[in-house]
Amino acid sequence: MKNKHYLVTGGAGFIGSNYVHRLLKRGEKATIYDNLSRGGAPRNLEWLKAEFGESAFDVVVGDVRDASRITEAGSSADVIAHLAGQVAVTTSVTNPRDDFESNALGTFNVLEAARLSGRNPIVIYASTNKVYGGMEDVELVEEPTRWRYKDLVNGCPETQPLDFHSPYGCSKGAGDQYARDYARMYGLPTVVFRQSCIYGPRQFGIEDQGWVAWFIIAAVMGRPITIYGDGKQARDILHVEDLLNAYDLAVEKIDTAKGQVYNLGGGPDNVMSIWAEFKPKLETLLGKPIEVARGDWRPGDQKVFYADISKAEKELGWRPAIGVDGGVNMLYEWVVENKSLF
C-alpha cells in the first residue's frame, strides 16, 4: 500500500508534533500547517528537524482562519488531521471572537479545503468532551478523594445530549457538528473524536490547559501551583500514544469510522482527581511535599468527566494501553530529563 500524504493542522503543537513524529518514523509524507503561536511550537519543530532532518517534512506557516492558504495546503492531502485551534476555556471567555474564528470558522475552512480538493481526503477532527457541557442532569456522588457519576458506571456516552457550555464548547461543538454533517451531505470521510484530558511528552502545559503536564512541570521546576475548586474534580486521562493509536485505527478502518463520532479518553479505568489523588503521586515522585494556593471554582469547570469509550472499542478495536500510574511516571521522567525546555 502506498504511503499517504498527511496534512496535520496544529502539527507543531503537543499532539500534532507527536503524530508527525509517528508518521515520519513509518515513512509517511507529512505536512505541518501551523501558525506557530503556541510557546512550545518552535521547540517541537526543532525536535522534529533534529530527529529527521529539515527536508523530511514540509512546514506551512499559516492560520486555519486563512481560507485560501488552508485550501492550497490541503489540495494534495490524503488525510487531514485537524488539531489546530484555540484550546482553553478561560481564553474563550475573555476573547470569544478569537475563539470562534480559530475553532468554528477554522474547522469550516479545513472541511471546505477537503471538499474542494476533489480528493475526498479522510478528515480527523479533534473535538472535545466540553461539547457535553456541565451535564447538570446527571447525578453525582462525592467520595473522599473524587467526585463520580452515580449511575453512568461506564462514563459519559456519545448519546449524552450536547450542551455547548462556554464559548469554547460552542466553537468546538460547531466544528464537531460541521465535521459530522460534511460526511452526511458531501460524503466526506470525516471522523470526530471527542477527546478527554490528553497528556504526554512535548506538552508544554500551562495553568489554563494541559493540567497533568502543568502540575508536573510546576512541581519539578518549583513554580507556584493554584488549585481551583476542591481538587476532587475527576477526569479520565489518556496518554498521547493511545490517542494516536485511535487516529491510525480510524484511517485503517475508515469504512467503519467515516461519519462517526467517538469518545476518546482514558475511560473509567483511568480516572484521577486533579489534586486529591494526583498530589500524593506527584509528591512520591518528587520526594517532598508540594505547597499550593487555593482558588474558587472556575466557570465551566465540571466536577466530573470520564468518557464511555466502548463504541471506539467495539467499532475500531481500540483500548488505552497506558494506565494512569505508568503514564504519569513517563511524563514526569520526560520533564526531569528536559528541564532546559522549561
CA distances 231 to 13, 220, 301, Å, are 27, 20, 11
pLDDT of res. 247 = 98
pLDDT of res. 211 = 93
pLDDT of res. 272 = 97
CA distance 39 to 57: 21
Classified as helix, coil or strand, 243 is: helix
> Could you tell me the domains of the chain?
5-341 (3.40.50.720)
Catalytic residues: 168
Angle at 148 between CA 143 and CA 152, to 5 degrees: 145
Question: pLDDT per residue over 264-306, tens digit each?
Answer: 999 999 999 999 999 999 999 999 999 999 999 987 678 999 9
Sign of the alpha-carbon dihedral angle for 23, 24, 26, 30: positive
CA distance 233 to 211: 12
Question: pLDDT per residue over 84-120, tens digit each?
Answer: 999 988 889 999 999 999 999 999 999 999 999 999 9
- Tens of each residue's pLDDT in the chain, 342 residues: 579 999 999 999 999 999 999 999 999 999 999 999 988 899 999 999 999 999 999 999 999 999 999 999 999 999 999 999 999 888 899 999 999 999 999 999 999 999 999 999 999 999 999 999 999 999 999 999 999 999 999 999 999 999 998 899 999 999 999 999 999 999 999 999 999 999 999 999 777 778 999 999 999 999 999 999 999 999 999 999 999 999 999 999 999 999 999 999 999 999 999 999 999 999 999 999 999 999 999 876 789 999 999 999 999 999 999 999 999 999 999 999 999 999
CB 234 within 8 A of CB 302: no
Sign of the alpha-carbon dihedral angle for 328, 241, 13, 124: negative
pLDDT of res. 88 = 86
CB 33 within 8 A of CB 107: no
Give the predicted TM-score (pTM) of the model.
0.97
- Residue 188 sits at φ, ψ, to 5 deg, of -70, 130
pLDDT of res. 44 = 96
* Cell numbers 494534495: residue: 76
pLDDT of res. 2 = 76
Per-residue buried b or exposed e for 84-108, using 16+ beta carbons within 10 Å of the residue's own CB: bbbbbbbbbeeebeebbbbbbbbbb
36 in the Ramachandran plot: left (φ > 0), alpha (ψ -120 to 50) or beta? left
CA distance 158 to 22: 28
Residue type, 247: Y
Looking at the DSSP bridge assignments, the partners of residue 282 are none
- Enumerate residues 6+ apart whose C-beta is below 8 A from 120: 114, 187, 188, 189
pLDDT of res. 1 = 59
